[in-house]
């Protein structure tokens, strides 16, 4: 199992469930920062919770901390003018990654989004997971929520924090270089060239003498050198599973390789449980996944639909020893197009904690997928399933990606 990612020992880990645990820990870390804060998020929504984070970044910058913030141009299309002025005045440096422009997503190249949720404070602590800067009880598209969004993050201290910071520094440098290139600032580009050089592949060497603490690895996905690393980490762990696999994934539409791996695991006698979104959220994600879910259920995979509210988690546990928490869904957008970041852990205590949380969700907040009931749904719903699945295949064709 250790070979499913290149692990290093010596990590301190804390599992955080939902914004109720994540945001106090994040804000506390930012308020304690002495040198540097780097934050990347897909969504930065200026609700009550988002404003608290925005204020923490402002406070840090005002006391002389170097603050760098990147938000995705689709997830965060607009930054209120008052916050633009406040951040600029306080010294917060911020970018919107790849704003859509006039033609929007009609240009396939703009499907490549920055979906990571990362934060590094003073090069000492890192946060990674699926939680955006948005209140758990609010959805930017659907409005107020009756039940808090189900999501997870991990706070980590140890060797992978340096690698996380290095990836964020390079990403920031490339955003700056793009802006400088547009403004023809050649001298600045030459000065920053060393930072723009390729990073090593996202793997940490195994240490010869194990340190105290958990084994963990940072696994990134991008469109250059790390195109398949997150998928390969999943495939390796699933392929080595002997007892049980528990997945919770908001937008679960695995490609052929992952589907085969899950089916082979079932044939080996491994119990495979998958928690997916039970409520309708988006047309493509909801309907295109249903033919795939039916296929997996027929093969013996247990599929559970999370029903109380919106599921946004991207986590997994294998044999109660391997676990991952991150931003990557198991769907084409995450595995083929987006910048993603997952922390992968090889630690019994951490895996058991996450496994216990997921099992409680399955027992109390899901309904099991029933093939007979699914087949009896109205014909127009089944037509939507096939239409969405076919449209997804067409979009993959035009993106030039195999899935």
- Cα 284 to Cα 287: distance, rounded to the nearest angstrom: 6
Q: In which region does residue 184 sit, left (phi positive, over 0), alpha (psi from -120 to 50) or beta (all else)? A: left
Residue 51's Cβ-side half-sphere holds a number of Cα atoms within 13 Å equal to 5
Instruction: Report residue 204: phi and psi, to 5°.
Output: -105, 140
Structure-token pair, residue 186: 């050649």
Q: 63: exposed, middle or buried (C-beta count within 10 Å: 0-12, 13-18, 19+)?
A: exposed
Buried residues in 122-144 as b, exposed as e (16+ CB within 10 A):
bebbbbbbbbbbbbbbbbeeeee
Rg of the Cα atoms in the chain: 21
- Cα 138 to Cα 43: distance, rounded to the nearest angstrom: 12
- Cα 204 to Cα 218: distance, rounded to the nearest angstrom: 8
DSSP state of 339: B
Nearest Cα neighbor of 317 from 276, 362, 361, 347 is 347
Structure-token pair, residue 175: 């955003």
Query: Quick count: other Cβ atoms within 10 Å of Cβ 156?
Result: 25
**Residue 223 vs residues 42, 43, 220, 227, 336: alpha-carbon distances, Å:** 17, 21, 10, 5, 8
Query: Quick count: other Cβ atoms within 10 Å of Cβ 205?
Result: 10
Q: Contact, 129 vs 325, CB < 8 A?
A: yes
Q: Contact, 220 vs 233, CB < 8 A?
A: no
List the catalytic residues: 115, 117, 122, 312, 314, 319
């Amino acid at each position: 199992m250790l070979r499913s990612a290149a692990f290093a020992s010596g990590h301190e880990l804390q599992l955080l469930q939902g914004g109720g645990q994540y945001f106090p820990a994040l804000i506390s870390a930012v308020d304690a920062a002495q040198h540097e804060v780097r934050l990347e998020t897909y969504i930065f929504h200026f609700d009550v919770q988002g404003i608290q984070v925005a204020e923490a970044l402002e406070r840090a910058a005002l006391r002389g901390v170097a603050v760098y913030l990147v938000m995705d141009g689709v997830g965060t299309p607009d930054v209120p003018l008052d916050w633009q002025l406040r951040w600029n005045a306080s010294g917060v440096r911020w970018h919107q990654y790849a704003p859509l422009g006039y033609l929007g997503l009609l240009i396939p190249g703009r499907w490549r989004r920055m979906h990571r949720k990362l934060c590094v404070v003073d090069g000492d602590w890192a946060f990674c997971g699926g939680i955006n800067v948005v209140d758990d009880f609010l959805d930017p598209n659907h409005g107020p929520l009756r039940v808090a969004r189900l999501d997870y993050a991990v706070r980590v201290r140890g060797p992978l924090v340096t690698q996380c910071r290095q990836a964020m520094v390079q990403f920031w440098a490339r955003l700056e270089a793009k802006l400088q290139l547009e403004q023809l600032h050649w001298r600045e580009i030459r000065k920053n060239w060393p930072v723009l050089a390729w990073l090593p592949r996202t793997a940490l060497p195994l240490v010869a003498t194990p340190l105290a603490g958990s084994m963990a690895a940072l696994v990134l996905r991008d469109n250059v050198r790390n195109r398949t690393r997150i998928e390969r980490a999943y495939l390796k762990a699933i392929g080595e599973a002997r007892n049980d696999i528990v997945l919770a994934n908001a937008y679960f539409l695995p490609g052929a390789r992952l589907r085969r791996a899950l089916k082979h695991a079932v044939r080996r006698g491994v119990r495979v449980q998958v928690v997916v979104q039970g409520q309708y959220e988006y047309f493509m994600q909801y309907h295109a996944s249903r033919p795939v879910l039916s296929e997996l259920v027929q093969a013996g995979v247990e599929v559970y639909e999370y029903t109380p509210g919106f599921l946004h988690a991207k986590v997994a546990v294998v044999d109660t020893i391997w676990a991952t928490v991150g931003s990557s869904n198991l769907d084409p957008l995450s595995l083929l197009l987006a910048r993603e970041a997952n922390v992968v852990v090889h630690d019994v205590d951490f895996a058991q904690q996450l496994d216990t949380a997921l099992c409680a969700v399955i027992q109390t907040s899901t309904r099991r997928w029933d093939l007979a009931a699914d087949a009896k749904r109205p014909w127009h719903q089944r037509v939507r399933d096939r239409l969405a699945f076919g449209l997804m295949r067409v979009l993959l064709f035009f993106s030039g990606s195999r899935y």
